[in-house]
Structure 1
Amino acid sequence: MPKIESPFRYPGGKTQFYDFVFSLIQLNHPVKTYIEPFAGGAGIPLKLIKNNVVDNIWINDFDPSIYSVWYHILNSPKLLISKLIELPFSYKNRIDDTELLINFWRKQKEIYLKEKNNPVSFDGAFATLFLNRTNRSGIISGGPIGGYHQTSNTKLYDRLNIDALVKKIKFISSNKNRINLTNIDAIELIKEIRRSTDKDNSFIFFDPPYYYQGKNLYFSSLDHHGHEKLAKNIIELSDYKWILTYDNAKPILDFYNTVQQKYLYSLNYTANNKNRGKKEELFFSSPKVNLEFSENKYNFIKI
């Protein structure tokens, strides 16, 4: 299992794509700024700055609740760490009190629902992070790990490793001056990228919500028109170095039919126990990106 720098658990997270992204950055030198318009757990950008592969990263998430976690990791790390340490249970501090566990979980769910549209709410940020660590597959809208009666072998706190979370928060906050954090729509972000970023020294990884399952997994999902509009704007960034991943959906292939560099590839996916294993997805890149599949462990197939 690769070491993950992100405090989040994310369904379909692309951290396992790190080696490939790293090789692309080396191949498409120079890259000083790495950008993720749909950052989510931001596993790749965090690892890139930890390994000093790039000078700085730009992480954007349109979901106010996810953004709030990043905001307080960067601006209130001590307060967030203190709140985590005060939790009455964790992976190390295991308790056998279903009522306490589920009541605490329900309280955080209630806070999340109240604060989820407030991008700077500290209580909302904590509730979001807590639910991400204690919900099945990290899906905020899902139910608790182990179920409401905690009768399974897995328990609510099995992914709540406080020591690991504290280390991650300290690392991220210590690199605040290398992280640009925003909470804007992807279309607006593309405009901002054009205004403020050197196209020759930047690299963008677009990983939008899935076309088919996005609405079930993410707050900031897109409808058919939204995916189409996004495609138009991404394609127009032909003078920038960007890559794009999507679920294998015919409408997406139609939207990006003019993109020359397009492939099918396989990636592990764990958001649903019934569907664990390899999933075939789509990969696109701008004409500015040099591609090389020397090992091809993701089974890239040109389409």
Structure 2
Amino acid sequence: MSQLSRFPSPLRYPGGKGKIANFVKILMIENGLAGRDYVEPYAGGASVALSLLFEGYADRAFINDLNPGVHAFWSSAVSRTDELCALIETTPVTMQTWHEQREIANSPEAEGLDLGFATFFLNRTNRSGIISGGVIGGLDQTGQWKIDARYNVESLVQRIRKIGRHRSSIVVSNEDAVQFVRQWSDPAEDAAFLYLDPPYFEKGEGLYDNFYDAADHAEIAESVAHLAHPWIVSYDARPEITQLYPDALQIRYGLTYSAHRDSASGSEIMFFSDGLKVPEMLPNGISISQVVKAQRLALAR
């Protein structure tokens, strides 16, 4: 598998959902959802959306993110592809550039291509892709890895150009998620499938600029309850979240799953709208039968 196929998104993102893409593909096939519009109210790195679109599982991809910088990047990648790629190819990956781009990203006046590139540059040069985080290698660049460790120009430009070639099938928006999903509360809308991956309940403040408090999580759960199209919602597994989706079918899993661990200790949880058939393969690539076998072995000890 090529890097372009394995990593369709040019962005690195906290809690990246690359492994979930295959699970979603199987879910769409088994539930007759292939060919619908695919909607991500919290796009972030949009790895799932791009994978589904590029491989023909989705007719259109709706990429929404409230963060101005993330939205500016996606808007630039889709609508100003050549200009964005030129910036990536010609801008030196140095600490001087890092300071310049951080200043742009922090400026309330920044917008458009300038903000989109600044967001991209910091995402690729900061630890874990966190825009407000520290640079890889540290400010003095004495770490094992340097600022350009995740900045492969050729590969990144290829990914962005592929996004540009699909621009007619990508809809980018910058709305609050609650407002954004309301348009799919109408069953008359074009057939769609929604995947919501809200900010983590725990530690969200340290990972996302637009983190949620308990009231925000409850508000999005209320919006999901009124959707007229099939949906899935993923979270970090917390009892406070489970209480918000009391009637939804749910599965628990760990993205770094070990067959020697009880599945209940998994760090992620996913909820499903009524009527959706859950695939045998879990989002972490482990089959449900493997989880059951591991549980039985643990109980037998």
TM more than 0.5? yes
- Answering whether residue 254 of structure 2 is matched by residue 266 of structure 1, we say yes
1:130 pairs, out of 103, 121, 128, with 121
Contact 2:66 2:174 in 1 (8 A): yes
Residues in 1 aligned to 2:240 and 2:282: alpha-carbon distance in whole angstroms: 30
For 1:210, the equivalent position in structure 2 comes to 200
The alpha-carbon deviation at position 294 of structure 1 amounts to: 4.8
Residues in 1 aligned to 2:210 and 2:139: alpha-carbon distance in whole angstroms: 27
Residues in 2 aligned to 1:170 and 1:193: alpha-carbon distance in whole angstroms: 30
The alpha-carbon deviation at position 258 of structure 1 amounts to: 2.5
SS at match of 1:190: helix
Residues in 2 aligned to 1:158 and 1:173: alpha-carbon distance in whole angstroms: 25
- Answering whether residue 281 of structure 2 is matched by residue 290 of structure 1, we say no
- Answering whether residue 96 of structure 2 is matched by residue 106 of structure 1, we say no
The alpha-carbon deviation at position 241 of structure 1 amounts to: 0.9
Residue 245 of structure 1 aligns with an amino acid whose one-letter code is S
Residues in 2 aligned to 1:103 and 1:20: alpha-carbon distance in whole angstroms: 41
SS at match of 1:246: strand
SS at match of 2:139: coil
Written as runs of structure 1 = structure 2, the 5 A alignment for 1:107-186 is: 107-115=100-108, 120-186=111-177
TM-score normalised over the length of structure 2 = 0.86
Say which is worse superposed, 293-302 or 182-191, in terms of deviation.
293-302
Residues in 1 aligned to 2:206 and 2:238: alpha-carbon distance in whole angstroms: 16
| CA RMSD between the two structures | 2.2
For 1:84, the equivalent position in structure 2 comes to 88
Q: Percent identity?
A: 33
Residues in 2 aligned to 1:166 and 1:47: alpha-carbon distance in whole angstroms: 17
Residues in 1 aligned to 2:188 and 2:99: alpha-carbon distance in whole angstroms: 43
- Answering whether residue 247 of structure 2 is matched by residue 244 of structure 1, we say no
For 1:231, the equivalent position in structure 2 comes to 221
Residues in 1 aligned to 2:287 and 2:55: alpha-carbon distance in whole angstroms: 26
| Cα gap change, 1:217 to 1:294, in 2 (>3 Å) | closer
The alpha-carbon deviation at position 262 of structure 1 amounts to: 1.1
Contact 2:23 2:279 in 1 (8 A): no
Deviations 1:26-62 (A, max 9, x none): 0111432111111100011111111112211111111
| Cα gap change, 1:84 to 1:279, in 2 (>3 Å) | farther
| Cα gap change, 1:17 to 1:226, in 2 (>3 Å) | same
Residues in 2 aligned to 1:107 and 1:298: alpha-carbon distance in whole angstroms: 44
Deviations 1:176-202 (A, max 9, x none): 110111111111111122348647x32
SS at match of 2:254: strand
TM-score normalised over the length of structure 1 = 0.85
**Structure 2 unmatched runs, 5+:** 258-264, 293-301
2:211 pairs, out of 214, 221, 229, with 221
Residues in 2 aligned to 1:194 and 1:63: alpha-carbon distance in whole angstroms: 23
Contact 2:66 2:177 in 1 (8 A): yes
SS at match of 1:167: helix
Contact 2:182 2:223 in 1 (8 A): no
Residues in 1 aligned to 2:42 and 2:20: alpha-carbon distance in whole angstroms: 15
SS at match of 1:255: coil
Matched residues, number? 278
| Cα gap change, 1:83 to 1:112, in 2 (>3 Å) | same
Residues in 2 aligned to 1:194 and 1:252: alpha-carbon distance in whole angstroms: 22
**Structure 1 unmatched runs, 5+:** 90-100, 270-277
Contact 2:250 2:270 in 1 (8 A): yes
Residues in 1 aligned to 2:187 and 2:78: alpha-carbon distance in whole angstroms: 22
| Cα gap change, 1:42 to 1:59, in 2 (>3 Å) | same
Residues in 1 aligned to 2:235 and 2:223: alpha-carbon distance in whole angstroms: 16
Contact 1:205 1:244 in 2 (8 A): yes
